Every structure is written in structure tokens, then in C-alpha cells.
Structure 1
């Protein structure tokens, strides 16, 4: 599987059955609006989430670059998989989602 978009979920701000807004850190990208995430890296859990909104520095944006953080809204199935898991050490492990960007405009 080729992956050109990867985000680490840092904090869920809001989540329901089909939509989540989260503070994320871009690990691979840049991640663009419309990027589709299909799996959680460490668990392999399948998801189908699309980036519908990116906010950086309190302003809407079309992309988020590696090593930068922002507030993203994701819509689709698999929102439950965005919650942290607890490691053997008792510390939370934040999920990393992997997927692909849409073709460039």
C-alpha cells in the first residue's frame, strides 16, 4: 500500500458516529483537503475518513505540511478508531492514520 498522507491524532475535540474534529500533526504529506484515510497504522483497523476542513493558525487552509499541527475535520466511517489506546506502560498512544491525497488540482 502506498501512503502519501499520514496524520497523528493528538486530541479529539468533537466526535460523533460519522464526523470528528481533532488536533493533528502531519507526519507525511502535505495533506490536502479531500485526502482519504483508509487505515490506522499500528492496529491496521480499517477506516474511511475524508478531510473536509483544515484550520491552521486560526485560519482555513487547503493543506497541512509535515511537522505542522492543525485542526482538521474528518468525515466518514471509523471515527471510533481515532481514540487513543493505552499502552502496556499505562500511557495513552495516539493513533496515526494513513491514506492518500486527491490528485493535485
Structure 2
């Protein structure tokens, strides 16, 4: 999956998940890829499960319209601060890894 497609799908799925809408995609879809990435991240860092749950709440509080800006702002700050993680060959801002983990826990 190309990074651009992944990030676009991530934004859309995050909005739906935070709004409490059921999101159903066939296997091999971006949602499943994000959940798989989130599960892998949590397997590598089980101590991050509480942070992923807190991230779910934070996204819900940002609301559907503010979610993208909230996620983008935190991703930028993570990159500036060197808060990156490597998961399954992806180098991601920690906030994106937490978003994937939040989806995996949903």
C-alpha cells in the first residue's frame, strides 16, 4: 500500500471510528491494514495500550471536523521532537501509530 493512500484512508477511518460509526471494509482494505499495524505496534509496545485508549478519547473530543487538524498537528510535533516509531517497516510519528492502535482496540 502506498503511503499516500494509507494516510488518506487513516484520516477517513479515524473520523468514522471517533464518531462511533461502524466501519466495515473487506479484508485487505486500508482499515484492516491500519488495524494490523496498530496490533503490531501494541505487540511490540504493550505499555502503549493506555496511550492508545487516551488517543481515542482525544480524537473523539476533537470532533469529526477537528480530527484531521488535531492528528496532523500532533504528527508534525512528533516529527519535530523525534517521536517516531518503526512498525513493520514503516517509520511513523508516534501519534499515527497510536491512531492505528486506537483502531485496533476499537
| TM-score normalised according to structure 2 size | 0.29
**Greater per-residue helix proportion:** 2
**Greater per-residue strand proportion:** 1
